[in-house]
Amino acid sequence: MAQRAADDPPDQVELDELESALLASVRDLSARAALEPDPDRPLAPGSSLTGARLGELFDAQLQSRHLDHAARWLRGQGLGFYTIGSAGHEANALVAAALRPTDPALLHYRSGGFYLGRATQVPGHDGVRDVLLGLLASADEPIAGGRHKVFGHHALAVIPQTSTIASHLPRALGVAFAIGRAGRLGLATAWPEDGLAVCSFGDASLNHSTAQGAINAAGYSAHQGLRLPLLFVCEDNGWGISVPSPTGWVEASLAGRAGLRYERAEGTDPVAVHDTVEDLADWIRTTGRPAVLHLRTVRFGGHAGTDVEAAYRGAAGIRADRQRDPMLATATVLVEHGLAAPAELVERYLAGRRRTRQLATELMAEPKLTSADEVIVPLAPRHPIAVAEQATVAAEADVRAARFGRLPEDEGHLTLAESINRALADLLAADQRVLLFGEDVGAKGGVYGVTRGLQRKAGAGRVFDTLLDEQSILGLALGTAVSGLVPIPEIQYLAYLHNAEDQLRGEAASLAFFSNGQYRNPMVVRVAGYGYQKGFGGHFHNDNAVAVLRDIPGLVVASPARAADAAPMLRTCVAAAVADGTISVFLEPIALYHTRDLHLSGDEGWTAPYVGPEGWGSAHIPIGEPAVAREGEDVLVVSWANGLYMSLRVAERLAAEGISCRVLDLRWLAPLPVDVIANHARALGGVVVVDETRHSGGVGEAILAGLVEAGYHGPVTRIAARDSFVPLGDAANFVLVAESDIESAVRAAVTAR
């Protein structure tokens, strides 16, 4: 593409080959003289698409094409930062036109035509300006605020997506589920009751396990009769960067999928695209069932500005695609119906091009992000007072009495699992937006009985089982959360989270960042984890790897060990979700679920009474606040979860010998309470970190680094699990931290002092 200096007149830029070919083809068009033009007449029987509306959409398509060219031009000036374009996909503007502007949309990164088409449905909205500000990474860009170039706008019901392949499909599933489930429960969401979710993606992305899982989950839900108003749009240009999609594969993969209606449309027939989507949308709204549109497109200009298409495509194939240009197709319809002359359309193209370049030039001076604080401000808003107030919200006394029968505060001492169960019941009773779901959580009540009885108390509409797919479970959470509900999904084992972790990293944690806080994912993900299970071994059920969670920006990781902490910490996480849109992972130590005794048989040292609502204020545990689990003066022992249990047992035995251990329960692994740890360490002068996660990448590494950064210079010892998966049976004892390891480390620390 020809380049110019930023201060040259925008109309002096030369046309590139694609533009020249398009305009030459438009000039060659000839109208049907016998056809009487009528811009208000539908272009096909039964269609709502008129000539006047198609003319508006032609301009939207032009705008999308101009923005693609502008993106590469700006990149050439060193002023733009994104060149993945929508050229060849502009038929998706007709998809937007056939839907409502209130239908939530999660868009493929080549759905620029859709975005500009949606903008025409909202009077006064300037979609071109939106996209240009994104290309320029301007702080005034209306969705991401300069953090990334995304298609998104709250006023357009377009939820922004980054370019992680197919990662947005599970969320789209969840949004559609929220629309359907809210109607059943009588709840309001961010979307109209008769809305539908639309999600676009590419043909190469179709092959990703995330896409396949979401499509399967949609069909699975429909097969069960669940209402799921969802339209998938596969924009099939035949390429995945440089790899061609096998001929016929998309149709073979999507047609005939159980529970999913399939329709195909050619991007070279704009009226058919519009009418096919209009028919699909009516069917989806009426039946509540999902569908997929296979939209055949082309791709112009390679994958991105740095992609040299000639390295893997023949010139003849590239030239042939130009005859399938969707803008040429729209121009042909307009000319054939006498709605525009070829010369007029050429001038509309050139005039729009000049306006886009001129606006790009004007926006070059728009402000950019200027500091790290500006960049990260949407990540983790914290309003502790509001969270503390929200954490005290309980159902009315008569509602609790009816829900529980015997109130939990009257049950006596409860285990960790029982405390979590009662807290979940209270949360479900207090807020009708709360949903609890996952594998086996409904009728069975979970593998360990933690959710036992909750479906009966709250109903199967709010406590329910899902299919066995962690990506879909988290996608349901993401979609229901962004829709205004409060999901508490369960991942059955920590090891099962890893195959779906990108739903937390790439989708949940990034949404507020890339929407400047306009969209949020208020959710609490319950995960059963860690080692030390007896008689139920193997690394998939004993997983001590949490490093993958601790480096996700803004994510809160809570890990209660004691029954007394479990309920208030869970209430805090849910309150933070409601007040701040916080995403929390609630790590529950499986081996301590049903533990009752601490030191001696029958001592009930690991149980605690359940605190009723009148005490929730004083029992509140803020995010990041640790607790001294045992006072002592000789050495500081820092731990959490199973490590806390073992450390307290060791501390009791050593006390008989005159060694006094202060045991600090972290309770929160992110944010890590480093300052509190450092203050205790300086007061005692010796530290033992008991880290049940792995030696490499474990939480203990962060504790030691934090102590150094905080200026602590005293002796410190870390004991951690070996860098190994957890084996079956007694062999696990060789790689996990043992009480004898803790005892030896404490003795050495006392001696070193």
Q: What span, in angstroms and rounded, lies between the C-alpha atoms of 560 and 464?
A: 25
Instruction: Label the pairing between strands 556-558 and 668-670.
Output: antiparallel
Q: How far apart are CA 53 and CA 50, in angstroms?
A: 5
- Residue 613 preceded by cis peptide, ω within 30: no
What CA–CA distance (Å, rounded) separates 719 from 707?
16
> Burial level of 5, CB count in 10 A (0-12/13-18/19+)?
exposed
Residues 6+ apart with CB under 8 A from 168: 106, 159, 161, 199, 201, 507
Q: Using CA atoms, how far apart are residues 121 and 115, in angstroms rounded to an integer?
A: 10
- Measured between alpha carbons, how far is 230 from 181 in angstroms, rounded to an integer? 13
Angle 343-344-349 (CA atoms, 0-180°, nearest 5)?
95
- Helix, coil or strand: residue 486: strand
DSSP 702: H
Which H, E and C letters describe 291-339, residue by residue?
EEEEEECCCCCCCCCCCCHHHCCCHHHHHHHHHHCHHHHHHHHHHHCCC
What CA–CA distance (Å, rounded) separates 533 from 726?
11
Listed in sequence order, the residues at least 6 apart from 320 whose beta carbon sits closer than 8 Å to its beta carbon are none
Candidate list 153, 541, 620, 680, residue with the active-site label: 541
With vertex at residue 274, the alpha carbon angle to CA 270 and CA 278, rounded to the nearest 5 degrees, is: 170
Q: Residue 100: enclosing H or E segment and its boundaries?
A: none
Annotation marks residue 541 as catalytic: yes
Give the integer Cα–Cα distance in Å for 574 and 555: 13
Task: Specify the 3-state DSSP secondary structure of 52.
Answer: helix
Q: 201 has which bridge partners?
A: 234
Stated as kind and residue range, the H or E segment containing 648 is helix 641-655
With vertex at residue 161, the alpha carbon angle to CA 158 and CA 167, rounded to the nearest 5 degrees, is 125
Cβ neighbours of 505 (radius 10 Å): 17
- Packing angle, helices 51-76 and 112-119, rounded to 10: 130
Short-list 63, 165, 75, 184, CA closest to 115 = 63
- Residues 189, 192, 196, CA angle at the centre, nearest 5°? 100
Within a 10 A sphere around the Cβ of 448, how many other Cβ atoms?
18
Buried b (16+ CB within 10 A) or exposed e, 405-415: eebbbeeebbb
Q: Which amino acid is at 701?
A: E
- Residue 255 in tokens: 């047609």
Residue 31 neighbours by CB distance under 10 Å: 16
Neighbours of 124 (CB within 10 A): 6
Other CB atoms within 10 Å distance of the CB of residue 166: 24
Bridge-based pairing state of the strands 105-106 and 635-639:
unpaired
Alpha helices in 656-720 (DSSP H): 674-684, 699-709
Contact 451, 490 (CB under 8 A): yes
**Which residues are part of the catalytic machinery?**
541
